[in-house]
Amino acid sequence: MNNILKQIQTLYEQELYSNVVRVCDITLSISEQKPETITLPVKHQVLWYYADSLYNTQQYLQAENLYRQALQMKQNIKVKTKNSNNKMQDVQVEMTTDVDIRYKIHLCCLALKQVKGATEILHEISVRNRTPKINMALGNIYRDSGMDRPAITYFKDVLNECPMALEAADNLLKLGIKGVEVNSLMVEASNDISWLNTWLKAQAQLHSRDFANAIVTYKSMDQHGFMKDNPTLLVNMGYCYHSMCENKKAISILQRAYHLDPRLILGQDLFSTLLANSSNKEDIKILESLTPTQDMSLWTCEQWIVLGNYMYANKKYEKAAYFAQQAYTMNRKNVEALLLKANIYFQLKKYNEAATHCTEALNACSYRFDIYKCLVDSLLQLNRLKEAESIAQNALKVLNNSPQALCLLVTVLLKDQMASQKCIRKYLEKAVMQDKNLTTNALSMLVEFLEQENQHEEASQILLKHIETNPTSRLHQLLGDCFVNLQKDNEAFHHFTTALKLDPNNQRATEGLNNIGRVSLRDSYYSCGDASYNSTQATTSSDHEADPESDTDPWNGMENFD
């Protein structure tokens, strides 16, 4: 039977797995009828090739069963060899190790969503026999289960033996281990590889949420002669920009990454989320170009999200819901899938469900402003002001008093009649001071607040200061409003006409022109807590107004969406 084993091995080495399956099936059937024709070591190897070929043809349930049979046979061979005075015949046949068999059983269990079984079979391997791939597998399982401490231990064991295991190093940084400690585990490799220290520094800054410095480090790597045009590096930079609420820059850098590698999967989910929530029509065209074209059975979680976001952007909420659920089923911790589901619920005025999914998303990623905003908007719609304020205060703390978080808190306070006007003004002034590039509506919110307080002169002075460097249609319109209330009609006329030159569709500038000469604009369209008080300029879930052409009830027949 050694000859048949050689033939099976040849088929296996040529990756003719379906042929191996058929030959092994017949061989094992014959061995059952004529046990004397095949020795146990040979039969063990036939079982191994049979199981591994089934695994390679994605027949995981059958493969797991045969791997376990091979493992049990290996134990029987050891016992018989130990108890026999003479070595067994053909014991010289090289047999697959217990470690490799158990590792393959663990892979089958993961493919079958049996995480407990995967963990148990790996723990059967003694500590001294655990190779780096076993430790890596255990680290991944514990990380995905939220058990950080054992995950950290296993990832450290991997780096101790393989200092260039970049994924293990990255996982340690994600789990909160300091860059200095991770570097000490990689020092053997970093001494000879010049780029490793810079890469490690950038990743440490990224995972410690020092996004501004991380971008600086990534840019220093994105140079000719170094790592110029590396798509993964660019995607990481895109995540940094988005975390800093600089979505235009994030879109630009991610677009560059996908231009370099159109088949890149990493970051596709975030890119599609940014494009779907952009007010630029050209971005929707880019989003359409990202939609997958291969067979649906091959789609990854990220590709389901891309299509979901495309349907969401086009207000096809039923289809968007289906695609979002498919992504969520594949990866229940994917932030973009959770956020997409929340946005869909919000558009359908199912605010409780939207809030629930936002909370789940925050558990997976606690530093995303867009998640906080969707959650606060949902709570405000439910008139749960105290909860909304608590979430906004937490966002302010987590996001380091960013102008976006300050504006979000003000949005909540403006709904609360008991809120201190002094605090509101303080928060707005702080946001304006930080938001030098006018990435939020902080300035317009402050001006409208001052207008409500009849402080027209102060409001006009603030606008005149900023309009020199940021001459936008919105700011000219607001300044025109101030001059109307100050009864300076010529100045008001100048700024309203300038606003319309910059944006002919500025309806409030048109209204302002019509109001010149009247007593006050306040009763026309200023009201405390009005919809004009938006927390950011970036389009978010609230920008997608439900319309008669959009799907009316996407939940029919979708009982498993949750």
438 or 497: which carries more pLDDT confidence? 497
Confidence of residue 92 (pLDDT cuts 50, 70, 90): low
Question: Minimal CA–CA distance to 375: which of 401, 399, 408?
Answer: 408
Give the Cα separation of 481 and 494 in Å (integer). Answer: 11
CB 317 within 8 A of CB 344: yes
CA 415 to chain centre: 32
CA 380 to chain centre: 26
Tokens 């260039």 — which residue?
164
What average pLDDT does the segment 285-294 reach? 93
Residues of the chain above pLDDT 90, percent:
73
What average pLDDT does the segment 334-349 reach? 96
Q: Which two tokens stand for residue 22?
A: 């058929």
209-264 has the same fold as 2-195: yes
Q: Return the CATH class of domain 209-264.
A: mainly alpha
Confidence of residue 556 (pLDDT cuts 50, 70, 90): very low
User: What pLDDT digit, counting tens, does each position of 43-87 carry?
Assistant: 999 999 999 999 999 999 999 999 999 999 998 888 887 766 555
Which of 107-121, 172-186, 251-265, 446-460 shows the lowest mean pLDDT across its residues? 446-460
DSSP summary character for residue 65? H
Residues of the chain above pLDDT 70, percent:
90
Question: Minimal CA–CA distance to 160: which of 182, 143, 138?
Answer: 182
Collapsing DSSP to helix, strand or coil, 129 comes out as helix
Give the Cα separation of 188 and 195 in Å (integer). Answer: 14
Task: Output the pLDDT for position 94.
Answer: 83
Give the Cα separation of 207 and 541 in Å (integer). Answer: 27
Q: Which whole-number Å values give the CA distances from 350 to 372, 411, 554, in the listed order? A: 17, 21, 12
Q: What is the pTM of this model?
A: 0.84
Collapsing DSSP to helix, strand or coil, 551 comes out as coil
Instruction: Give Cβ neighbours of residue 148 (< 8 Å, ≥ 6 apart).
Output: 142, 175, 176
Task: Output the pLDDT for position 191.
Answer: 80
The CATH number of domain 2-195, selected from 1.20.1250.20, 3.40.50.300, 1.10.1060.10, 1.25.40.10: 1.25.40.10
What average pLDDT does the segment 450-474 reach? 89
Whether the predicted pLDDT of 559 surpasses 70:
no
349 phi, psi to nearest 5 deg: 60, 25
Collapsing DSSP to helix, strand or coil, 552 comes out as coil
DSSP summary character for residue 518? S
Q: Which two tokens stand for residue 164?
A: 């260039």
Whether the predicted pLDDT of 561 surpasses 70:
no
Which of 159-168, 297-306, 448-457, 518-527 shows the lowest mean pLDDT across its residues? 518-527
Collapsing DSSP to helix, strand or coil, 228 comes out as coil
Give the Cα separation of 301 and 71 in Å (integer). Answer: 34
Which of 85-99, 257-271, 307-321, 517-531 shows the lowest mean pLDDT across its residues? 517-531
Question: Minimal CA–CA distance to 28: which of 14, 11, 47?
Answer: 47
Q: Which two tokens stand for residue 507?
A: 């309806």
What average pLDDT does the segment 418-432 reach? 90
Task: Output the pLDDT for position 192.
Answer: 80
CB 204 within 8 A of CB 173: yes
CB 320 within 8 A of CB 309: yes
526 phi, psi to nearest 5 deg: -95, 125
Instruction: Give Cβ neighbours of residue 23 (< 8 Å, ≥ 6 apart).
Output: 4, 7, 8, 11
In terms of C-beta density within 10 A (0-12 exposed, 13-18 middle, 19 or more buried), how is residue 502 classed?
middle
Task: Output the pLDDT for position 77.
Answer: 87
Question: Which one-letter amino acid corresponds to residue 486?
Answer: L
What average pLDDT does the segment 501-525 reach? 76
Which of 49-58, 185-194, 323-332 shows the lowest mean pLDDT across its residues? 185-194
So where are the chain's domains? 2-195, 209-264
Give the Cα separation of 144 and 138 in Å (integer). Answer: 10
What average pLDDT does the segment 74-102 reach? 76
Task: Output the pLDDT for position 85.
Answer: 53
